[in-house]
Amino acid sequence: MGRPKVHYIDTRILFLQIAFIALAVILGVSYLRWTKVTRVQFSSPEFKSSWEITDQEVVRGIAAGVKEASQINGAEPENIYVMKLFSKKETRVYLFASPEVIYDIKGSRCLQPFGQLRGVLNKAAEELRLRSPYGQLMQWEEAQQLLPPGENVKIFDVDTGKSFHAVRKGGYSHADIKPVTENDSKVIREIFGGTWCWKKRAVVVQSGGIKFAAALTGMPHLQNGESGCFDLRLPLTGDRNKGDTVACRLMYYKASGRLDEVLQEANPYETILLLFTAIDQRDWQSARLMLTSPEGVKQNKLEKLIGVSVLNIKEKEDLVYRLSVSVSFTDGPYNNRRNIEVQLRQDKKTGTCVAEPEFLATLFAGE
């Protein structure tokens, strides 16, 4: 018999091979972790709301759905929802107006999703509407279909976030609503500062899965033989919208999250009317948006204001206006006529006209 053949193993080569395989595995795992989508966020510029998904099974399904979506012809959508896919590597942004098409910002292309992804997009649109602190700007003629007599709805106050339930009892060009319980009535009173008044508040009405903007008046009255009803107003159409006061329109804009847009489009005269309407309604949150400085008058002074009416506006010079107003306070004076000068400035960032707050000293003098 011959001598057995000896096989020599070069440990250096073996070590290098093992090291190479290990490195490849580490790099592969690292790359997967680097590119793995870990969360998905949906947002709506229109509704000013967001919804985030961190459930990894759902996140994987969304990421897979985006990869499987087929490219189609189309343009970037308007009135959009935003979907962001987050990974350590990057954030991918997609836009969609409906579940049928998503627009890939990075790739500048339209994609057609299928199956689970479509369902998630549909759910996201619904969630964003419900999570929004604002409601749709809906005409009364359309909204009253969601408010038939006897309908129980939930109403949110925009400024305080407080909510209550109410039932519609009637109303022709508006809804007369009645709080369901004593606690609901208590909440309404709290919303209006603890006293009943004819002031208006920006509110959002939720009926089923739909939310719409409205203006609520804080004075209980008799309706159809029932006491304790409140006026709930929505925008009117055609000639009927002349019945909408500036105060009502201010509350509609605010409750729909569109007050900034309205102020940007308002001319100086309209800005002054909106500003004094906000002060008259004790709506300091809105008034502050129309002032160059958020400071100017203490909240307790505003709470003592019964009302202020603009009787006349005349332009003195460019962006300087002289106003004749009538103002009343809880402790007097009442119906006191005052001449006020308002200096407007053009906000460079937004293009909006805003007022210097000095006129407030004259308005509240002697209070």
Residue ranges of the chain that CATH labels 2.30.110: 140-254
pLDDT digits (tens, 9 = 90+) for 282-337: 998 899 989 988 765 566 677 788 999 999 999 999 899 999 999 999 888 899 99
Residue ranges of the chain that CATH labels 3.10.450.100: 258-363
Please determine, looking at this structure, whether the domain spanning 140-254 carries the CATH number 1.10.730: no
Gyration radius of the chain's alpha carbons? 30
The three-state secondary structure class of 22 is helix
> Alpha-carbon distance 107 to 105, whole Å?
6
pLDDT digits (tens, 9 = 90+) for 185-209: 999 999 998 989 999 999 999 998 8
Q: Residue 346's pLDDT band (boundaries 50, 70, 90)?
A: confident
pLDDT digits (tens, 9 = 90+) for 61-75: 999 999 999 999 988
- pTM of the entire structure? 0.77
pLDDT higher at 82 or 242? 82
Selected from 3.10.450.100, 3.40.50.10860, 3.40.50.10210, 3.40.50.300, the CATH number assigned to the domain covering 258-363 reads 3.10.450.100
Place of tokens 């209980």: 220
Tokens of 36: 């793995």
Q: Which range has the worst mean pLDDT, 17-31, 135-149, 343-357?
A: 17-31
> Alpha-carbon distance 115 to 101, whole Å?
13
Identify residue 52 by its one-letter amino acid code. Answer: E
pLDDT digits (tens, 9 = 90+) for 144-199: 888 999 999 999 999 999 999 999 998 888 999 999 999 999 999 999 989 899 99
Q: Which residues of 195-204 are buried (b: 16+ CB within 10 A; e: fewer)?
A: eebebbbbbb
